[in-house]
């Protein structure tokens, strides 16, 4: 089973020209993932200390730093949301914040697959073995 695994190493098993696409996809997916954490934290009235993007070697990584205590300054509409959120134990609120990033990853994956099938519908018929069309004969016009 492990003999079927191919590691995708830019410049080695993937052409180096596609490295920028890899970096862009990684940056977009990590920003969307962290946005899920930040939005869920805001819905639960948690304080967000900082949001940003950092680089490890040359790989982009997004991050959100969330404080454990809820925000105290809230408007009238926000008080209702805070009251509903505070009725739940803290562990459930933290679990929702943590799982929001995974939910965003799942939605991004589903959208990517749907777009890929929309752009190449023959993939549904031929599976992953479909390598394109082959011209077998050309008829002269004149």
**Active-site annotation holder among 34, 69, 78, 80:** 34
Please provide residue 87's backbone torsions phi and psi, each rounded to the nearest 5 degrees.
-70, -15
Active site residue 18: no
Please provide residue 126's backbone torsions phi and psi, each rounded to the nearest 5 degrees.
-105, -10
Question: Coil, strand, or helix at residue 24?
Answer: helix
Inter-CA distances, 44 with 6, 9, 27, 48, 85, Å: 42, 40, 26, 11, 6
The 10 Å Cβ neighbour count of residue 98 is: 13
Please provide residue 10's backbone torsions phi and psi, each rounded to the nearest 5 degrees.
-55, 135
Distance, CA of 10 to CA of 1 (rounded, Å): 23
Catalytic residues: 34
């Amino acid at each position: 089973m492990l003999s079927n695994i191919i590691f995708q190493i830019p410049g080695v098993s993937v052409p180096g020209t596609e490295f920028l696409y890899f970096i862009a996809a990684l940056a977009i997916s990590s920003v969307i993932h962290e946005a899920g954490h930040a939005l869920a934290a805001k819905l639960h009235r948690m304080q967000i200390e900082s949001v940003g993007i950092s680089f490890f070697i040359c790989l982009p990584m997004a991050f959100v730093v969330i404080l454990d205590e809820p925000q105290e300054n809230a408007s009238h509409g926000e008080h209702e949301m805070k009251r509903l959120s505070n009725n739940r134990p803290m562990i459930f609120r933290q679990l929702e914040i943590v799982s929001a990033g995974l939910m965003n990853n799942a939605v991004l994956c589903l959208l990517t697959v749907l777009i890929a099938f929309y752009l190449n519908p023959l993939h549904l018929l031929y599976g992953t073995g479909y390598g394109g069309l082959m011209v077998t004969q050309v008829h002269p016009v004149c």
